[in-house]
Amino acid sequence: MTKAKISACQLKLKPVASFREFANQVEEIIAQVPADSDYVLFPELVTLGLVNSFAGSDNFEVKDIVKVSEYTEDYKNLFKNLAIERQQVIIAGSHLERRGDKYYNICYVFDKDGSYVEHKKTHIFPAEGNWQTCEGDELEVFDIGPAKIGIAICYESEIPEISRILSMKGAEIIFCPSYTFTEAGFWRVRHCSQARAIENQVYFVHCPTVGDPSLPFPAEGYGRASILSPCDIAFPFNGVVAEAGTNQNTVISGIVDIEELYVNRKTGAATTFNDRTRKEGMYAKYPPYDAIARNKVLSPTT
């Protein structure tokens, strides 16, 4: 029986004046993580508070948040050293990083020896266009720690094809660092995360950046972290393995059984992982993208 213990660090965003202050914030919250956790997840745009470390930040516009890219090496070294020191796999949220003349929203996964892999967000949320963020075009599954894992950054959870491809490539846990600054945004990601866990029979870990709107920019953020499972006999009936309080600076942890996923795919009440593919011949008769392009799905007159 293969089990994995997962911790999600629901980090409360706050303006910081230096990288050392940001590092202190990270070190304080990771100190709450149990020493026996296999995976530690941080939220999307975890370095955003560093915007306030730049001179003139009071007059910044949204597009200026890409300045945090200047801290890329500091960010990578911080989480690399924490992974080595704690001997845990750390999914270090995401960070805006400049590559050549482009910026990407990148999630790094640091293994216990300090090595790392990365995932560039493939579907940027429409508002991210204000930051001139470019999209990645690769979906990989990583055999790191006791499970095979995939990454779906925030809005990627709302694109069903992302999680389907990851699960078909072998992902058993999908980690979703997220940042939404409205309650509606939080629920979109949360409901989609639960749907992805059910339809692909995988575990899905949703970890949002939260904040305090009364503080200076950037401090918005809404959510509560959760570790989610399929809804079936072998799992919590509501699919919630663990859940944080809303907008708290806190850590949640939970243990998941990897082998149970494979049993559930064969004998569960709902065998959606396999049932989604067994009628591909029928699906092929209905080209949805062509239909939408011809306005024959969305038009109320057809």
Query: Are the beta carbons of 11 and 31 closer than 8 angstroms?
Result: no
254 φψ region: left (φ > 0), alpha (ψ -120 to 50), beta (else): beta
pLDDT bin (cut points 50, 70, 90) of residue 111 is: very high
Percent pLDDT > 90 in the chain is 79
Q: Which two tokens stand for residue 228?
A: 């989610």
Cα gap 120→111, rounded to integer Å: 18
pLDDT bin (cut points 50, 70, 90) of residue 296 is: very low
Q: Which residues are catalytic?
A: 44, 121, 154
Query: Are the beta carbons of 255 and 3 closer than 8 angstroms?
Result: yes
- The pLDDT score that the predictor gives to residue 136 is 96
Q: What is the pLDDT of residues 264-282, one digit of tens each?
A: 999 999 999 999 888 878 8
pTM: 0.93
Q: How many CA atoms does the CB half-sphere of 283 hold within 13 Å?
A: 7
The CATH code belonging to domain 3-270 is 3.60.110.10
pLDDT bin (cut points 50, 70, 90) of residue 219 is: confident
